[in-house]
Chains A and B, each alone.
Chain A
Amino acid sequence: MNSEATTGNGADGTPRVSYIGNGSTLRSWLLTKDHKRIALMYLISVSVFFMMGGLYAAAIRLELLTPASDLLETATYNKVFTQHGVLMIFFFLIPSIPAILGNFLLPLMIGAKDLALPRINLLSLYIYWLGGALTLIGLMQGGVDTGWTFYTPYSTTFSNSYVMLVGLGIFINGFSSILTGLNFIVTIHTMRAPGMTWFRMPLFVWAHYATSLVMILGTPVVAITVLLLAIERAAHVGIFDPAIGGDPILFQHLFWFYSHPAVYIMILPGMGVISELISNFSRKKIFGYEFIAFSSIAIAVFGFLVWGHHMFVSGQSIYAGLVFSFLTMVVAVPSAIKMFNWTATMFKGSITFDTPMLYAMGFMGLFLIGGLTGLFLGSVGLTVHLTDTYFVVAHFHYVMVGGQVIAYLGGIHYWWPKMTGRMYSEFWGKISAMLVFIGFNLTFFPQFILGYLGMPRRYAAYPEELQVLNIFSTAGASVLGVGLVMPVVYLTMSLINGKKAEDNPWMHPGLEWRTSSPPPTENFDTPPVVTWEAYEFGEDSGLDIEGARRRHQESVVNA
């Protein structure tokens, strides 16, 4: 990475030091307050958790290759799927886009030198590490077998696994999320460059603003819920266990009050990434900017009102089920607004099928299926048949993996040149994107059918007549695994032998593309003044984007 030590010349002609070259000691990284360096450390940490969660997923799919419980004992299987869920949700899906891409890009996109609270930003990384370390210690000592939802009274009374330690890890990790959200909100309110009005902000920033609201308002509730769980488990105070005067449904209310909005913590930043990709790779101003911006806020608000749809068969009252079912249908509207607007943006756009755009288009198809199958599960009658089956597993993987992970991968590819100053192999990028898409569908589409046929989730064994579909699913997981490992290889290789990235390799108008690749520590040579609208490809953008693109194409043709 030494070649990225300098990054062109500054306004006064002197060589600029890039954020990567600004200190190479361990101390310079561990004590940095630079949002870009913190984002890179998050990238490495989150990737480690993603790989560990992926290994658990591989164990699950291998066990389900045959109908009998032969590879893993049933008790071990309980731990494996629990730990897959815990690692993926709390340590990968929730922090990945906000902590990596959000941290790196948010100040660049609004023309700020850093986040408003740089020390708090570093603190949130350390809290993430501490929470992750405690959770990993819990997993290594014997793990936890309650499912990632920690439902009571099993988790408080019966489970003899490491519920307390893993719960403590999640409790602590929640504060990392809260601090990141707080930092983003303060930064967006106070650090925007002159001319960067609210309606000139990239939709990525709007999405992170909405996500931050959910983080701040929701995360404390799950923290307190886990604390109450610990109090009941340790001190036998009757909160959730009916045997000592508690109510197990109360746990589900409190847990899902956070954990359903947490779905939006995961998906909203992904939607922000997709808005950037669709508009920029269609080379067209996004259709209905204000509607997309406010639909993010609407999702954040309505997302808090629908948690009861996870509890339709829990013993919750029929009336409450009816209300939550109606509100679930309502929350689909802002998501649909985004889908329609992205499609309208692509209409008559000048679309280029670069790797990030392949991911964006994959997102639209997969999230659509994930969202529509959510309506099945939100219908009180049908959900009685589908609850706790593989239909639910397929649905949330279409939203979480087909949505969030695909968006994350698209975003990483899109901003990789800016983050590292290097271009990756477009050929391998496209192959990987297609493998992920095919592998994902092969893995999870059969699970809709399995669920509809009645295969319950969280069991290591199943009837023989369901084996063919399970073999499809495991085969798909292998393809998906290859597709996910490939970027690790070619992105790492790009750091060694990748072509040097230009400042604006995609020729896009966003503020982050108007500084060097990789950016200097201060982000911009001179504080930017924004005089153009978001996603402005015309002359008003201040860049001769179309001219540069034409010249680039001519040079390719001549070559």
Chain B
Amino acid sequence: MSDNHNEGHIGYPGYIGVFAVLVVGTIFTYFSSFWDLDGMFFPGANTLLALLIAFTKMTFVILFFMHVYWNSKLIKLSAVASFFWLAIMFAYTMQDYLTRGSGVFGQ
């Protein structure tokens, strides 16, 4: 583990603050689902906003609850690599969904 590992990073006020961010994010997700962003902007805008909120919440959890923020570069690299892997899964799955019904080169 990291040399500078320390349990008292942000203390209880910090943790409660992060928890508050998560709760606010959840409430915001709930209410934003009633807005017709798909109609106002583009199809999928509602989903995109929900994902952005979820990504923000997840970042707080990883950085502060999971102590990645204070950890070594190797641990940070591992965390980033796992998202890279997730991106591979999404990207290669979407290359199927986005080209369904079209030919090899979109004909």
Contact of B92 with A317 in the complex, beta carbons under 8 Å: no
Contacts of A250 in B (CB 8 A): 93
Identify which of A83-91, A102-110, A318-326, A406-414 touches chain B.
Answer: A318-326
Residues of B contacting A317 in the complex (Cβ-Cβ under 8 angstroms): 95-97, 99-102
Instruction: Jot down 10 A-B pairs with beta carbons below 8 A, ordered by A.
Output: A221-B89, A253-B89, A253-B93, A317-B99, A317-B101, A319-B96, A319-B105, A319-B106, A320-B92, A323-B92
Q: How far is the CA of A318 from the CA of B104 in the complex (A)?
A: 6
- A323 pairs with B85, CB closer than 8 A: no
Interface of chain A, main secondary structure:
helix
A253 and B88 contacting across the interface, CB-CB below 8 Å: no
**What CA separation (Å) do A189 and B78 show in the bound complex?**
13
Choose among A217, A221, A249, A305 the residue that contacts B92 (Cβ–Cβ < 8 A).
Answer: A305
B103 on the A face (CB < 8 A): yes
Known: A217-B82, A221-B89, A304-B88. A253 touches B96 (CB 8 A): yes
Establish whether residues A305 and B99, one from each chain, have CB atoms under 8 Å apart when the complex forms. Answer: no
* Interface size of B in residues (CB-CB distance below 8 Å): 18
| From A189, A249, A304, A319, contact of B95 by CB (8 A) | A319
Whether B95 lies near A320 (C-beta < 8 A) is: yes
The 8 closest A-B pairs by CB, nearest first: A320-B96, A319-B99, A317-B99, A253-B93, A317-B100, A316-B96, A217-B85, A317-B96
Alpha-carbon distance between A315 and B96 when the two chains are bound, in angstroms: 9
Cβ of B58 to closest chain A Cβ, rounded Å: 15
Q: How far is the CB of A344 from chain B (nearest CB, A)?
A: 33
Asked if A308 is an interface residue, CB under 8 A from chain B, the answer is yes
* A308 & B92 in contact (Cβ 8 Å cutoff): yes
On A, residues with C-beta under 8 Å from B are: 189, 217, 221, 249-250, 253, 257, 304-305, 307-308, 315-320, 322-324
Contacts of B100 on A, CB cut-off 8 Å?
315, 317
Task: Find chain A residues with CB under 8 A from B74 CB.
Answer: 189
What is the CA–CA distance of A320 and B97 in the complex, to the nearest angstrom?
A: 9
**A217-B82, A221-B89, A257-B89 given; A308·B104 CB < 8 A:** no
Within 8 A of A (CB), among B71-88: 74, 82, 85, 88
CB distance from B98 to the nearest CB of A (A): 8
Taking a contact as CB atoms under 8 Å apart, the answer to whether A323 and B82 are in contact is: no
Nearest Cβ distance between residue B36 and chain A, in whole angstroms? 20
Is A319's CB under 8 angstroms from B85's CB? no
Shortest distance in angstroms between B101's beta carbon and chain A's nearest beta carbon? 7
Q: Give the contacts of B20-34 with A (CB-CB under 8 A).
A: none
- The distance in angstroms between the C-alpha atoms of A315 and B99, with both chains bound, is 11
Is A318 within 8 A of B95, CB to CB?
no
- Most chain B beta-carbon neighbours within 10 Å: one of A308, A320, A322: A320
Q: Is the CB of A319 within 8 A of B104?
A: yes
Question: Contact between A304 and B104 (Cβ–Cβ < 8 Å)?
Answer: no
Smallest Cβ distance from A123 to chain B, in angstroms? Answer: 19
**Chain B residues near A308 (CB-CB < 8 A):** 92, 96
Alpha-carbon gap, A221 to B88, bound state (A): 13
Contacts of B106 in A (CB 8 A): 319
Shortest Cβ distance from residue A322 to the other chain B in the assembled complex, whole angstroms: 6
With A and B bound together, what is the CA distance between A272 and B2 in angstroms?
30
List 10 additional contacts besides A189-B74, A307-B92; criterion CB under 8 Å: A250-B93, A304-B85, A315-B100, A317-B99, A317-B100, A317-B101, A319-B95, A320-B96, A320-B99, A323-B92
A458 to chain B, nearest CB (A): 25
A397 to B97, CA, bound (A): 31
